[in-house]
Amino acid sequence: MSDSATVLDGLDGKVFLDDNGLTFERTKMRATGRGVDTVHAIPWSAVRSAAVEKNSLRVDVAGYDRARLSTGDPNAVDLKRGQREAGDAFASLINTRAAGDAAAAVF
């Protein structure tokens, strides 16, 4: 992770966005429940999109069938109460970056 990472600190973990992609960090218990290590990285080439669904930031990843529930999805982080706007803004950052160089920022 670079020093210039943008972070979303959710209810059950953190997501770091940097030049390499996304990195999820969770406790051992939360990671085990999702079938991943405590640090789980996804390169930009595999990130398709992100959205907040039912108070969870969920990231669509190439080659991965998303779990029905966010608590079983290694590419999701549950949001804290009152964190919906921050989650939507973080999803927007992910979507802009995943769209590539041709994407235009929306203001």
Range list of H helices, the chain: 28-34, 84-99
The pair of structure tokens assigned to 91 is 């999803």
Of residues 13, 27, 3, the one with CA closest to residue 90:
13
**Per-residue pLDDT, 3:** 54
CA atoms within 13 A on the CB side of 67: 14
Q: Return the beta strands (E) in 5-93 as ranges.
A: 6-9, 14-18, 21-25, 39-43, 47-53, 56-61, 76-78
| Mean pLDDT on 31-38 | 90
| Mean pLDDT on 17-23 | 95
Residue 27 scores a pLDDT above 70: yes
**Per-residue pLDDT, 66:** 79
